[in-house]
Amino acid sequence: MKLLKQLGLAGALLLSAGCSLQEDPYGFVSQGNFYKTEADANAALIYAYAILPEIEYYSRGFITVTELPTEDITLKPDAGASNFEFDRLAVRADNVDLTTTWRYAYIGVNRANAVIANVPGISNMAEANRNELVGEAYFLRALHYFNIVRLFGAAPLRTAPVTSLSQTDAAKASIQDIYALITSDLKQSIALTDLTRRDGRANRVAAWSLLAKVDATLASGKLTGTPGYDFVTDATGLYTEAKTMANSALTATGYGLDANLKDIYDVTKKTGPEHIFAVTVDRAGLSEGNYSKLPLMFIPYIDGATFMLSDGTPVKSGYNHFLTEGALYNSFDPADKRKIDLIPNTVTVGTATRTLGITDYSRPFTRKYLDPQQVGEQTSANTPVLRYSDVLLLYAEACGPTTDGYTAINRIRSRANIAPLTPGLSASAFRDAVIQERAWELCFEGNRLFDLRRTHKMEEILVQRYGKTITGDAYYFPIPTREVDLNALL
């Protein structure tokens, strides 16, 4: 049974076990009459996954806080003030989007902690299944903390379920300690999970992939002098491990580059070779969070009509909220299929064809989040978290300007129909080229801000190249005021 179709059952089971209807602060679950059976264990894990597609997390909020600060997207003129703070890189501690991103990441941590703490004690279930569920929970906790540390830096580190208000106060842990837990969790996940692909769930390939990204983040942060990464002692060793982890994922059976870029984002092909881990949704869901409205944020509003793309794909007018920036759009090679195929600039309304200009109100837009069969405003467009090409570029970065490194990045460039990367680059120039390649390959997917931060390029790219202004700390958002007010130890 697909993950999303189990969410209703999981929620019902957990509510009957004493889950607070007002999830404050991080989702309290009474454990006295739960975690007794294998069904309880499965329901708890599904509940842990269910936080990811919430509107305040990967189905909207996460894209808002990670894409708007970059050169990928800007906003329509009448967007909310909280959104514009991200677009203008002037985020205040009382920003509502910042607050909900923090809160939902910690809700996710708490749900994962509950599985990690309780499922090992359920004896009447097969060991392999118990290991799998706990291993996936370790992956989820690592993912949440990776988001937290890259967004906020030092932050509270919770490794046990919070079940009462008396447990909510916690001091900030260091960036070093948070990364130590992330790394440990992912190695636990690798040891406990298997290679089976399950709809909407992580497996060992996902854990290998995420650890490769964590290692590359630490290594690049150290080598480039990114604030907060001075504790790293062995960047070379971390890149070596990143290469090993990425290679394990890249050579796993069933995964590879999809020959057709559009197929990667086809909602009928969610188990294609490019997909390693994504936040899954289904347009048949009963509420937002089961389905996604994220595509409507990118789709332009054109007379309120259904318009056609040049390949015949029908698209209903959207909210025109996220607008593609010229800085990204104009940086592509004119022959790059990632621009030609994935950022359409012509539409047909009735019998009239319109060209969308990059400075117009309705602009060229990403088709990475399209669902031609959407029902009303409900779509089945997943949010990518880890893709094969993402991991292949991490592998190239870890290899540096070697034969393996060049082969990896040129596989991406060949699929995009652009020339191979200039040979003979220095290690730093090669890795700069990989980061730029990631900008083109992974745009609109929530990676660019983190790539700029971990390579100490926020000022160089956003300010010096694109003329943006950064107010405050470019590398870490402030801890939300609400959390400081509620947590005496902050």
Q: String of b and e for 161-198 (b: at least 16 CB within 10 Å)?
A: bbbeeeebebebbebeebbebbbebbebbbebbeeebe
pLDDT value at 21 more than 50: no
* pLDDT tens-place string over residues 411-427: 999 999 999 999 999 99
pLDDT value at 28 more than 50: no
Q: SS3 sequence, 189-208?
A: HHHHCCCCCCCCCCCHHHHH
Q: Tokens standing for 118?
A: 């309780």
Q: Which residues lie closer than 8 Å to 73 by C-beta, 6 or more apart?
A: 67, 298, 322, 323, 324, 325, 328, 444
Q: Tokens standing for 174?
A: 């260091």
Q: Which residues lie closer than 8 Å to 78 by C-beta, 6 or more apart?
A: none
pLDDT value at 11 more than 60: no
% pLDDT > 70, the chain: 93
Residue 372's alpha-carbon distances to 124, 259, 353, 367, in angstroms, are: 45, 21, 19, 10
pLDDT value at 8 more than 60: no
Q: Do the beta carbons of residue 25 and residue 483 sit within 8 Å?
A: no
Q: Compute the mean pLDDT over every residue in the chain, rounded to the nearest whole number.
A: 93
Three-class DSSP category at 354: strand
Fill in the DSSP letter of residue 485: H
**Single pTM value for the model:** 0.94
Which amino acid belongs to residue 462? L
pLDDT band of residue 19 (cuts 50, 70, 90) is very low
Q: Do the beta carbons of residue 29 and residue 161 sit within 8 Å?
A: yes
pLDDT band of residue 17 (cuts 50, 70, 90) is very low
CA–CA distance, 15 with 404 (Å, rounded to integer): 51
Q: Do the beta carbons of residue 161 and residue 487 sit within 8 Å?
A: no
* pLDDT tens-place string over residues 39-73: 999 999 999 999 999 999 999 999 999 999 999 99
* pLDDT tens-place string over residues 149-199: 999 999 999 999 988 777 778 999 999 999 999 999 999 999 999 999 998
pLDDT band of residue 15 (cuts 50, 70, 90) is very low
Per-residue pLDDT at 345: 97
pLDDT value at 134 more than 90: yes
* pLDDT tens-place string over residues 371-412: 999 999 999 999 999 999 999 999 999 999 999 999 999 999
* pLDDT tens-place string over residues 200-229: 999 999 999 999 999 999 999 999 999 999
Q: Tokens standing for 135?
A: 């291993």
Q: Tokens standing for 325?
A: 């920036």
Which has the closest alpha carbon to 454: 241, 215, 237? 215
Per-residue pLDDT at 162: 87
Instruction: Name which residue leads in pLDDT, 331 or 489.
Output: 331
